[in-house]
Structure 1
Amino acid sequence: MKIVDLITWFEAWANPAWCESWDNCGWQIEPGVLQEKARVLVCLTPTLAVMEEAIAENANLIFAHHPLIFNPLKSLRTGEAIAEMVRLAFTHNIGIYSAHTNFDQVQDGTADVLAQILELKEVTPIVPTQAGLGYGRVGLLEPFLTLQELLAAIQTRLAPPNLIFSPTTDLQQIISRVAVLGGSGAGYISAVAKTGAQAYLTSDCKFHQFQESRDAYGGLRQRNLILIDAGHYATERPACDRLVQKFQSLNLDWVQLSQKDEDFRQFFA
């Protein structure tokens, strides 16, 4: 399959026109590879390490979740990471394509894969954007789990380096309804609370957002939503793996999940 045909197939599933106004989905760098047979390296974040991996593997397309370019560039200078990525992309004829907030909304996208990993049933979007699609997912656990069992399942299935959750006095409380959103999802706490979810799995949560999940309106009433932060990498990387599986079904010339992708946070034991 040619790269142009792969991108056409993908955009019929996750249209880049669905991305948020602040986002930058679609081609980041296209050095003239559209008619080549697709050799694809899938990653969460396009970095110089991933580019070096693509060069070593003779890939001609880096398919990333996170955009390489978020804001309009004012200059490209030697020694800058984006400038070096551009130089290497054109030197080695490697395209870089991003599927970000459009990929977050679709079936088998970032949120949907998290819901599947937790085996949620009767799943619906937290915030619908169009028919059957939207940001985040909320659904039922079958069978129900204690909070301790849910946390253990998340730790086992996502393997985050550090799992953070709201303070609670009862790890044995029964959890039946769970919301999930890969990446930075703390801005959806209010929307999640309206779904009736008891626990919300996401990432990049700040100190006061843990308070917000428990206490609404400055503590005047209880919200009692258990916020669970498994980290940006752990909550989005599984969707990249699923994307590789979907690409493999298209019988591409070559496709692989990056081994140089990395979590940019480390925790001292």
Structure 2
Amino acid sequence: MAKIIGGVTTSHIPAIANAMANGLEETPYWKPFFDGYPPVRDWLNEQKPDVIILFYNDHGLEFFIDKKPTFAMGVADEYYNSDEGWGIPTIPPVTGESELSWHIANSLVEDGFDMTICQEMKVDHGLTVPLNLMWPGHNYGHVKVIPVCINCEQHPMPQPKRTLALGQAIGRAVESFEDDLKVVVFGTGGMSHQLDGERAGFINRAFDIECLDKLVSDPESLTQYSNYDLVELGGAQAVELNMLIAMRGALLGEVTELHRNYHAPISNTGSGLMLLENK
């Protein structure tokens, strides 16, 4: 049977890709951020997962404001990236896992989630940056990826209680898949951050640390927040916490925290890296 062996939270801001492309990892600004990643890379290389289920939000490459699904997922054999206007180099194609993807899609619909199911899907920096962080130099070709996209840009957006439930439903679907696969779930996005308006540059470190703690020990408590609460406590873009919450939902039981690195600000964003082992 397929088994989710762990989960990872990570930032996906496009400035990270530019820093890697320009060899800036050891510069004073970037070093505290990149220094957090070797333990997670080592664990992934040791565990050798077959599949990554990756929660992210699309920033206008595949879905724009005229068509914005609440939840979307890919079921393709391959996913392509393209120029988003950030100056990030386009990465090689990402390999999909269509059999498990279709199994999850069918299971989610049976569970009451009206997914937008994509047989073709361009993937943006929300997905490509985490892959390059974990396998630098585009060395992710050995692992298959299932993209799951959550709307964090345009209201109405799903609430934390719904994204946790989505993660739990995906966790159940994976565990019911008959093939022997090792799966790791990524929850990607910034923690507290506001990129525009009167509070531009706002970061709430205390709230970010509290959320990381609760992701480990009490994820249900995060469902007390509405998206408006997240905006008030963490800034307009803090709704990206929903991807981290969905990741934790997919880890159905207790978890062990193996590694954590919190750093802020990085590109005006609170960045929380965490590695959780699924018990």
TM-score normalised by the chain length of structure 1:
0.24
Q: Which has the higher strand share?
A: 1
Structure having greater relative contact order (Cα 8 Å, sep ≥ 6): 2
TM-score normalised by the chain length of structure 2:
0.24
Q: Which has the larger radius of gyration?
A: 1
